[in-house]
Structure 1
C-alpha cells in the first residue's frame, strides 16, 4: 500500500506540480485547499505525511501545524512546510510551530523527493 501524503495548498498550480512529482514517485496524494479542511482530513485520514503551505486563506499554516502537533492523535505525523517565506526569522517561526522541515518555493523536483523520502 503506497504512503499517503496530504498536500494543504490553496494555489492549484503549486498543488498540481507537487502532486505530479509525488504520484510519479509512487505516493498516494490527498488535497486540502485550506487549513481548516486540512486539519479535518488529517484527523480523519491520518496520512503518513503532510505538506503544508504557510500562507492560506482563513487559518494560516502555522496555526494548523500547532493544532496538529498539539493533538496526541496527530502529533507524530511529519509536517513539512512548503513556503515562499524566505526572510530572516521565518525558519525559526516555522520550526517553533512544530514543523519537522521546510522547503522554499518554488520547489525543485529532486529536493521534494529527497525531503519526503527522509520522512517516509
Structure 2
C-alpha cells in the first residue's frame, strides 16, 4: 500500500470488505457508519470521507432477504408442524413474528454487504476512486 492512498481490492480482499459491509461500516476504513438511518446510505464516510453515494443496491438486499428468510422459515415451519402439530393461530403467530424479526435484522446488513461488494469490485461510480 502506498502512502496516503486507500487500500486496493487486492490488498484488502473481498471477504474482509463484505464483513465490513455486513457490520454496516464503511468498506474503505471499516470504522465509519455506512448507514445514517435504517436503510439510507450516507453520501460520504464520516471518518475517511470515502464517497458512498455511487452505490446501486436497489432491490438486491430485499431479494436476498426474501430468499434467506424463505429458505430458513419454510423448512422450519414444516418440521414444527409435523413434529408438534400446534394450533394454526399459534403457528401463524410464531412464524409471522419470526419472519418479520429475521427480515428486519437481515435487510440493513445485506444492504451494507451489497454496497461493500460494489465498492470492492469498483462497480458503478466506485471505479473512479483512488487506487
TM-score range, shorter chain: under 0.3
More strand by share: 1
Query: What TM-score, normalized by structure 2, do the two folds share?
Result: 0.25
Higher helix share: 2
